[in-house]
Structure 1
Amino acid sequence: MNTSNLYKKDFFFEKFSKIGEDIRISFELFPSKDNFSEKKLWNTIQKLKLFNPIFFSVTHGANSGNENLTYSLVKKIKKVTNINSAPHLTCSDFTKVELKKIAQKYWENGISQIVALRGDELEGSSKSKMEAFDLVCLLKEVANFDISVAAYPEVHPKAKSAHSDILNLKNKLDAGANRAITQFFFKIDHYLHFRDKCFSIGIKKDIVPGILPIYNFDQLLRFAKLGKVSIPKGIQNTFENFKNDIDICKIIGSNIMLEMVYTLFKEGVRHFHFYTLNRLEIVYLICCIVNQISFKKINTGF
């Protein structure tokens, strides 16, 4: 079934043709662990570079020992695509001495962007007790990194309150972080309310919405549960009716993403960060429509 034929492409192209300003895009990837996934990953990277992203971010799984995988992928992306890449660095994984060595290695090898995160700490871990704020300060001591930090429109699960969570974000930005990238969300009002609250306490830096593609309903539920993200009833009901049809789920997911991007643009958002899941289909299609690229050039892989 070729689902790309089911999109009302003329409708979406007309809708996004009214957007007269460029949209800035960045993409999140994760290192592959075998040859098959490596080939898929590089196919994804080669296609996504068409949109001239301002950077690719590359995750580093907490306590997974894959910092070298992250470093290698970041270096290769820069070499192959000439696009900047930002490795994720989690301070729960390392001591301060280790973090400084990693940061120095990145800087000395031309990697000047980092996504600074606290990360999940294993129970009983003897590693660093640092927070993301401390990591931002450490990175700025090493060099003038371009730093992204995390933000949570629906409040970090471990935050004492919504207000304390926003104050923590302000501290990270005041310490030298350049922008915040949000956890994914589906209720746009949550993001807008969060952005307004940030502005009200003096946060002037960009709060970049993180957009998650939806491929199937069960995966959506798992991700939402892990991140304590609420799913609107309308989305739940729509997916419930078609959850066993993968192709229809992709169409639904694509339409949800398009509406989110369009609505957020109208609310002043100009930078969108896509959590690709290392998959090409939906994110590539969305970016083609948003960037007004001819459908003749699209090979979604659906």
Structure 2
Amino acid sequence: MATAHSRSAARFMISPSVILLFCWMAIPLGMTIYFSFLRYNLLMPGMNEWIGFLNYQFFFTDPAFFAALTNTLMLVGGVLILTIVGGVLLAILLDQPMWGRGIVRILVIAPFFVMPTVSALVWKNMFMNPVNGLFAFLAKSVGMQPFDFLAEAPLLSMIWIVGWRWLPFATLILLTALQSLDSEQLEAAEMDGAGPVSRFFHIMLPHLARAITVVILIQTIFLLSIFAEILVTTNGGPGYATTNITYLVYALSLLQFDVGGGSAGGVVAVILANIVAIFLMRMIGKNLDV
């Protein structure tokens, strides 16, 4: 009796927080879904008529949607490859005994704490600028023509900029996992004649499998909503070359003032993100159970 009473009291005490959290999540989502069924344009106030699924039809038939979906997948995939491969290599390097290893680790992890807009502006103006950037200076110093990264290879440049920020996160997770590896296992393999490559593929990499899956899950969820780097560097261009789903929703809602179309895009983005998250959770859950 006392246990049931204490459980009821505990539920009563946490109910305000649960209700507040539910309202904080449900009300904006509900308003977005509602607006997605309206012809709601800020340039035409008072003409908010119900149009059903017409906004979704326009969104799916817009040529920009398929370009944005492709760019989103390529951006997420490219950053994941860059951060996982680079993170594994950096984790192995930082795990080796060296002078000033603590300082080196701090310097490697530091880029993750730089704001997205700041890091994007630094790369855009200080490194990739075809006139005054560092890469242009290095190209001119060896007699080569400077390369305009953001104009000639915009999506690849975006993958590099975003990957630079997320590489420390992957390195930190993988380094923590690598430090839990039993050193005696590596020493025994070395005594049995296994070389560095063999020890990496047969001992280190299987040990890092769970950490890699966690990195993939967390980064994918955040990378699906990349926005600041695109806004301050390319504005989704040239054309739709760097427009992802998040930036397309922003362009519809705030640049074209089409709140209804932008809301429909937001609902589609939420559905796609949940599909990806559920798929990754199931895949990672099976991996973690092994």
Say which one has the larger Rg.
2
Higher relative contact order (CA 8 A, sep 6+): 2
Output the TM-score relative to the length of structure 1.
0.25
* Structure (1/2) with the larger strand percentage: 1
